[in-house]
Structure 1
Amino acid sequence: YKRDRFGVYGWWEGGCLCSLDPDWIASPNWQQGFSLFHFIKDRFWVEPIPIINRKFLYGGKLYGSGGKKR
């Protein structure tokens, strides 16, 4: 976060939804995930959702695939 006389600002990395082993780059330092951004009037918060082993947790529930990678 950053606050100045004009307001509060924030920057986040949200992860990616792509393959972590592309053939065009060796050993990228990428993580899968996404973020939810919530806004109420002049307030906001960010909820990062990491994806680990093709699964993620949200709202107390486990989502994802236990199947084989394509």
Structure 2
Amino acid sequence: MSIRVNVDVMMARRKLSLTELSGRVGITLANLSILKTGKAKAVRFETLDALCRALDCQPGDLLEYVPESEE
């Protein structure tokens, strides 16, 4: 897939654990882990909004387009 998810990068910058972010965002550890590892097929805008609020960032900080030739 050409979309890279950088939730782990933002978590490291904010020094947040998966458990702490899960509590702030209100999604399960399993679902957050799927998103963090880039295995999610979709992201709800509601979830993206909650992640941006919890991580104090913009959607573009979490999602990045990478052409398939660069993967």
Q: TM-score normalized by structure 1?
A: 0.21
Q: TM-score normalized by structure 2?
A: 0.21
Question: Which structure features the higher share of helix residues?
Answer: 2
Question: Which structure features the higher share of strand residues?
Answer: 1
Question: Larger relative CO (CA 8 A, sep 6+): 1 or 2?
Answer: 2
Larger-gyration structure (1/2): 1
